[in-house]
Chains A and B, each alone.
Chain A
């Protein structure tokens, strides 16, 4: 097998792999996609909720729980986004605005921003500096809001 041929094969393999990943979501039933992405976001809310209550002083601060929960969210926040396929546009049970599919680039920049803010929060939580956690938490809240303001309806 010559080098050129193996390059071609590799390229085909890579594009196939990428295609499979995208297709896996695209071919799922739209109702399931909505359920799954909502489930991911519900879990994000579950684990970020107590962190919010702690930085707002509503419940006692527990550094171990903050570190664990922000770590969970740092993984969960990778999950919802491939569920926002154009095929889900007509599903009733969602707060997603159709603008998501009209301006996919902007939507992507929003969730990438969220991911980077959550990564900062998780890092701060590991560092253990409560003020840094609080500041990073504010960044996460703003990232949530920026996307909700544009892409989430009531």
Chain B
């Protein structure tokens, strides 16, 4: 399929897209329950386990997922990132089939920050009636400190979200690349040479994704419930 010399490439596999939008929904729900407090904190804890599961799954998927889900595909060196950054303010689209170099770094920053957020939440306490499932294992002082990290890292996360919004809108309106639609449909439109240079996009089996997701959920369950 061609439009204006662009070819459609199935870029984001289904697990990547589901991961992305579930994380968006969960983050919004976590913001709400965390700010509301009271009995909503019970849901805040469940939401945290879900975030941890998603992050764990995404890290695993970064090694065995489809071509553009893999870290090896999108984690660029500083040289590539600098080259990309230099053309950022020219109006011409700079098409990448997968993540562009700065976008790849953004993914890592998000994963790290969400991991810190969910991880510290396990040990945090709100000095009211709620504490993470592992808070009992550590001293109150350490739990308080991790609670502070939980609060500061939230500001970092919100900053990353703002940056992510700005970047996506910039690409949409200044560079005419619709990255938002691509994250829904999985399809990116790129110039034929770009697509050809990338070769075929390999998609991993959905069953592998389901199994990895279940495994990630099981690991989180074991961490939270500590049945041993």
Contact = CB atoms under 8 A, between A and B. Distances in A.
Given A154-B144, A154-B148, A52 B38 contact: no
Interface in B8-60: 36-42
B129 A56 contact: yes
Interface in B101-141: 126-130
Nearest to A141: B38
Contact of A141 (B129, B147, B148): B129
Contacts of A45: 127
Contact of B128 (A55, A135, A139, A145): A145
A144 B128 contact: yes
A142 B35 CA distance: 9
Contacts of B127: 45, 148, 152
Nearest to B148: A154
A59 to B, nearest CB: 13
A78 to B, nearest CB: 19
Report which residue of A49, A52, A55, A137 has the largest number of chain B beta carbons within 10 angstroms of its beta carbon: A52
A48 interface: yes
A45 B151 CA distance: 22
Nearest to B39: A138
Nearest to A53: B129
Contacts of A134: 39
Given A52-B129, A56-B129, A141-B128, A154 B151 contact: yes
Given A154-B148, A154-B151, A49 B129 contact: yes
Contacts, number: 46
A interface: dominant SS: helix
Interface residues of A, number: 21
B38 A139 contact: yes
Contacts of B151: 154
A85 to B, nearest CB: 22
A56 B36 CA distance: 17
A133 to B, nearest CB: 11
Contacts of B36: 142
Nearest to A144: B128
Contacts of A145: 37-38, 126, 128
Interface in A122-151: 134-135, 137-142, 144-146, 148
Closest 10 CB pairs of A and B: A52-B129, A138-B39, A138-B38, A145-B37, A142-B38, A141-B38, A144-B128, A154-B148, A142-B37, A141-B128
Interface of A: 45, 48-49, 51-52, 55-56, 134-135, 137-142, 144-146, 148, 152, 154
